[in-house]
Structure formats: structure tokens, C-alpha cells
Structure 1
Amino acid sequence: MEKQQAVRNVIAVSLRDKTALHANYMPFIRGGGLYAITDQEFKLGDTVILSVKIEALSKKFAIPGKVVWMSPRQSQGQGVGVQFTGRTKDNVRRTLETILGDLAQKPSIYHTY
């Protein structure tokens, strides 16, 4: 039963390029965060692992996090906002912000959340 719980809390996020990363990056979350489109059910505070792949850059990340934002179940782009947690959170945030460059602190006109 515990293994099922662990698998359930992994959210796969596949982003095709920097524009998609920008649309999902949540700079207003303390320490950084990403929005993940998913139909999995979560509660605020749930611990998750984001398995993030940025296809155009051939980058992969496993990011521990906590659910801090939820879109309504019936909305288009239903999903959760995940705050980065754990020992690697600062490195992950810096890496993603380096990839984004000046876009890191600008709202995306294509945001998914």
C-alpha cells in the first residue's frame, strides 16, 4: 500500500521548450514552483515529486515539492501548483531561472494556472 501511495505522488511534467517552462513557472511561490497539469487528485499540503522533462533542452529533473495551489477540477488546464522543497530546492530554482533568463520574473501571457 505504501508503494502505491509513493507512485501516486509522482507527477510527470513534460515541457517542450523554454516557452512552456515559462508558462508553468510560478515565480510568486516562495523558493520557486511549477504548475503541473494533471487530473490526479491532491490536497493542499500533499508531498509530491515532480518528474520534469524539458524536451528541447534535453534536461530532466526530479523535484520534491508540496502542493500549494489547486485549479478547480472542471477547469481547462486542471492541475496543481507545487512549491519546491528539500535540499535541492535552491539549486533547482536557480537552474530553472537560469534557463528562463529575464523571463523568470515576468508573468507569461501563456500561463497555464
Structure 2
Amino acid sequence: MEEIPLDFLDIKELNRAYMPFLKQGGLFVRTARQYKIGQSLALLVTLPDALEAMPVSGKVAWLTPHGAQNNSPAGIGVAFIDDKLGLRDKIEKLISGLQESTEPTYTL
């Protein structure tokens, strides 16, 4: 299974990438590589101010091709499948004050 490292330097960027509308949560990954819906991946996510990356496995649930409308960056949405360390809960706690933000996200 391919591993993709994701380093979030600030909470605003994490909020733009987080996908709360997925049942178990998920993250948007900026990439020019081609993936297929349903493809299994492992993410190594480093949250802002964290010392270590947290692994989470997931599946590609979203594709944004290069040149998409609204100037959205190319990438994939990865739905969390196996979140043993509670990454979703940690992300939601970090971004709790930004959920009503009017800033655009990379997804909906």
C-alpha cells in the first residue's frame, strides 16, 4: 500500500483539507499523480505542532483533476478507513473554531 506523508503547518490549511462530510472523516491530498476511486492508501499525517506523524489508512473517495473549476488544486480526497489513533477526533478538536469559517476549502 502506498504511503503519502502529509504535513500541516497551520490549522487553517488543515481546515481547508479536512473532509467532515465523510462518515469517518478524511483529508484532501494535493497531488498531480493519478489515482483511482477506491484505491487504498496510507496517510502519514503530521498535525500542526505535533512531534510525530499519525498513520491512518484510507481509500480514494474524491478526485479533483488538474484544471478543475473554481481554481481548485489537483488532488484526491482520502476517506479514513482504519483510524486506530483517533486522527479524526484530533483534527476536529483542532479546527473546532474554524468550522463556521467562510474561507474556501479544497472540497465542498
Alignment TM-score > 0.5, same fold:
yes
Q: 2 CA distance for matches of 1:86 and 1:51?
A: 13
> Amino acid of the residue matched to residue 80 of structure 2?
F
Q: 2 CA distance for matches of 1:12 and 1:32?
A: 17
TM-score by length of 2: 0.81
| Match status 1:112 vs 2:95 | no
**Compared with structure 1, are the counterparts of its residues 100 and 87 closer, same or farther at alpha carbon in structure 2 (3 Å cutoff)?**
closer
Question: In the comparison of the two structures, how many residue pairs are matched?
Answer: 103
The structural deviation recorded for 1:58 is: 2.3
The RMSD of aligned alpha carbons is: 2.0
Q: How does 1:7-86 map to 2 (within 5 A)?
A: 9-54=2-47, 56-59=48-51, 60-75=53-68, 76-86=72-82
Give yes or no for contact 2:66–2:73 (8 Å, CA) kept in 1: no
Q: What percentage of residue pairs aligned between the two structures are identical?
A: 27
Match of 1:100 in 2: 95
TM-score by length of 1: 0.78
**Compared with structure 1, are the counterparts of its residues 85 and 58 closer, same or farther at alpha carbon in structure 2 (3 Å cutoff)?**
same
Unaligned runs of 5+ in 1: 1-5
Unaligned runs of 5+ in 2: none
> Amino acid of the residue matched to residue 49 of structure 2?
L
The structural deviation recorded for 1:107 is: 5.8
Give yes or no for contact 1:23–1:108 (8 Å, CA) kept in 2: no
Tell me which stretches of 4 or more aligned residues in structure 1 moved more than 6 Å: none
Considering fraction of residues, name the structure with more helix: 1
Q: 2 CA distance for matches of 1:33 and 1:98?
A: 14
Q: Give the SS at the match of 2:104.
A: coil
